[in-house]
Structure 1
Amino acid sequence: MAKREVDIVVISDVHLGTYGCHAKELLQYLKSISPKAVVLNGDIIDIWQFSKRYWPATHMMVVKHLVGLIAKDVPVYYIPGNHDELLRRFKDFHLGSLKIANKLSLKIDGANVWIFHGDVFDVVMQHSKWLAKLGAIGYDTLILINRFVNFISLKMGRGKISLSKKVKNSVKGAVKFINKFESTVCEIAASNQYKYVICGHIHQPEINTVVTEKGSVIYMNSGDWIENLTALEYNENKWSIYRYSEDPVAQAIEIKNKKKNKGESPKELMASLLHELNVKNPEHGPVETD
């Protein structure tokens, strides 16, 4: 199958290691495209809730696919979020074509683009991290309840009910309103002469022009792979929102759910993947990091 070529893909809020993660669907998407560069914009692996008891084969297959892109010398930029903030201590780390940075500043077709996860503007994260972590656990529990409700609903011939999405949207919407998330981000972006600003964190896919006192800024959010199953793509001089639900080609890709070797923990599997990554450390792309 010929893969669809994409100049840049931005993915965020995958939350590998949690029950709500749609790793299979993400893997189908990744296998359907041939990206020239990949930006992982935070909360890819949910370190907050990581457990050896729950790490399905498809979750490791996503990691392995990304490692495969790095081995093929495709630039992959990892911007840690709040759920994988442990990786922020590895800022400016290089491994082959992989680079870890807290934020990215790119110049694409003459336009300045600013990319970061976005949790820095979340009041809950800044002042009550314990509450945010408690909310994450509660959300994951709600996902499990939601799956049970949908199982019963489908058996009764009714459609799916997204309890988790309704709760998530209402909570994140309140936080977004209080913090004036978009306007704050865009005001700072305009002050620094950025035409585009890309975030994740709030799980709301969006492309919107925001007018500030210092000029207009195009705000973009890549959404998530929990509820929306979305990403941002840059191709043919244009940004767009990718939606898995609207992609029959990706949905048709067969994923063989291979069982992991007995006795191997996720940590051991990860170590073997890194061992496979025996590539040089070239410089890639017009990217400046802070």
Structure 2
Amino acid sequence: MLHCRTIFLSDIHLGNKDCQATYLLNFLNHTKADTIYLLGDILDLWAMQKQVCWSPEQNAVIQSLLAKADQGTEVIYIPGNHDEEFRHWAGRQFGTIKLQLRGCHTTALGKKLLLLHGDEFDKEVNFGRFHAWLGDNLYDFLLFLNRWSNRIRRALGGRYFSLAAFIKSKVPGAQQAIARYRDAAVAKAKRSGFDGVVCGHIHHPEISLQDGIIYCNDGDWIDNCTALIEQQDGSLTLYHWTEQSHTLAALPLAVRSDEQPAQSKVA
């Protein structure tokens, strides 16, 4: 059992056929935290308008989160664009789960982090309506390839491999969009007086230090299967969790503003 201070999760997309609920459930069963932040797109209401794909594993994920909240873990839900209907209920509490539009978290080291989903930065990233449409459709195609390539890998006894993330890492336009998104998130945190920002939305897990601001993207459970964890000592670690768990990147306990931790790379 991995005991940590805080867990940050986003972009689970429950109700979507590409949701990697089995891996997430395994992660939840092997972790314990004082606080869990759900940073949006936990439910994929967009996908469910077209087709509902709700497996027993996805239902078990919901039950696991509710059980953790009942057992004393503080669970805070900050909706994203795919579950934006819940934003109307911000400020309320549903059972033991709190709904907020944004959040603020102070680490054990005293670092003040801005918490949000991140779709508000879309206007600063998009290259135009056509490119946004093209990007969405290309990503759907990548998920299709990812789905079938991993079915074949499992049939052959292989481990999970994010083909979608690998292809995205080779596309210059995608890397440019990711950089714009990171710049926008860091600028927002800096303007608001925070030491860092934790977000999701773009399905690109990363920890980095930019302009003295901590940038953390906890990734997703569609193709990357990642979560951000704050350890008891206040350090931040990005985990990849499938058949075998491993650390993608970590932020050192003490980082000067002129030091740049290695950015995460999904294998």
So what's the TM-score if we normalise by structure 1?
0.71
8 A contact 1:73–1:96 mirrored in 2: no
Deviations 1:16-40, CA, capped at 9 Å, x for gaps = 1112211000000000011111000
Deviations 1:115-170, CA, capped at 9 Å, x for gaps = 10111001289898998688657644543444334545777899987553345554
- Per the TM alignment, residue 95 of structure 1 is displaced from its structure 2 partner at its CA by 2.5
Q: Partners in 2 of 1:133 and 1:69 — Cα distance?
A: 38
8 A contact 1:19–1:144 mirrored in 2: no
CA 1:105 to 1:133, structure 2 compared with 1: closer, same or farther past 3 Å?
farther
> Greater relative contact order (Cα 8 A, min sep 6): structure 1 or 2?
1
8 A contact 1:40–1:79 mirrored in 2: yes
| Matched AA of 1:183 | D
Deviations 1:193-231, CA, capped at 9 Å, x for gaps = 2112111111111111111xxxx1111110111222111
- In structure 2, the residue matched to 1:173 is 175
Alignment partner of 1:34 out of 32, 37, 52:
32
Larger radius of gyration: 1
Q: Partners in 1 of 2:191 and 2:107 — Cα distance?
A: 19
CA 1:73 to 1:174, structure 2 compared with 1: closer, same or farther past 3 Å?
same
CA 1:158 to 1:244, structure 2 compared with 1: closer, same or farther past 3 Å?
closer
8 A contact 1:79–1:102 mirrored in 2: yes
Confirm whether residue 226 of structure 1 aligns to residue 228 of structure 2.
Answer: no
- In structure 2, the residue matched to 1:21 is 19
Q: Partners in 2 of 1:91 and 1:70 — Cα distance?
A: 18
Deviations 1:79-104, CA, capped at 9 Å, x for gaps = 11111111111111112431111110
Q: How does 1:110-129 map to 2 (within 5 A)?
A: 110-123=110-123
Q: Partners in 2 of 1:160 and 1:183 — Cα distance?
A: 31
Q: Partners in 2 of 1:222 and 1:202 — Cα distance?
A: 10
Partner secondary structure for residue 198 of structure 2: strand
Q: Partners in 2 of 1:68 and 1:155 — Cα distance?
A: 33
Q: Partners in 2 of 1:66 and 1:14 — Cα distance?
A: 12
Q: Partners in 1 of 2:158 and 2:105 — Cα distance?
A: 47
| Matched AA of 1:173 | Q
| Matched AA of 1:25 | Y
**Aligned-pair RMSD on alpha carbons?**
3.1
Confirm whether residue 196 of structure 1 aligns to residue 212 of structure 2.
Answer: no
8 A contact 2:103–2:114 mirrored in 1: yes
8 A contact 1:119–1:125 mirrored in 2: no
So what's the TM-score if we normalise by structure 2?
0.77
Partner secondary structure for residue 175 of structure 1: helix
CA 1:185 to 1:125, structure 2 compared with 1: closer, same or farther past 3 Å?
closer
| Matched AA of 1:234 | E
- 91-100 vs 54-63, which moves further: 91-100
How many residues are matched? 240
| Matched AA of 2:37 | V
Confirm whether residue 164 of structure 1 aligns to residue 155 of structure 2.
Answer: no
- In structure 2, the residue matched to 1:61 is 60
CA 1:233 to 1:132, structure 2 compared with 1: closer, same or farther past 3 Å?
same
| Structure 2 unaligned blocks of 5 or more | 247-267
- Per the TM alignment, residue 183 of structure 1 is displaced from its structure 2 partner at its CA by 1.9
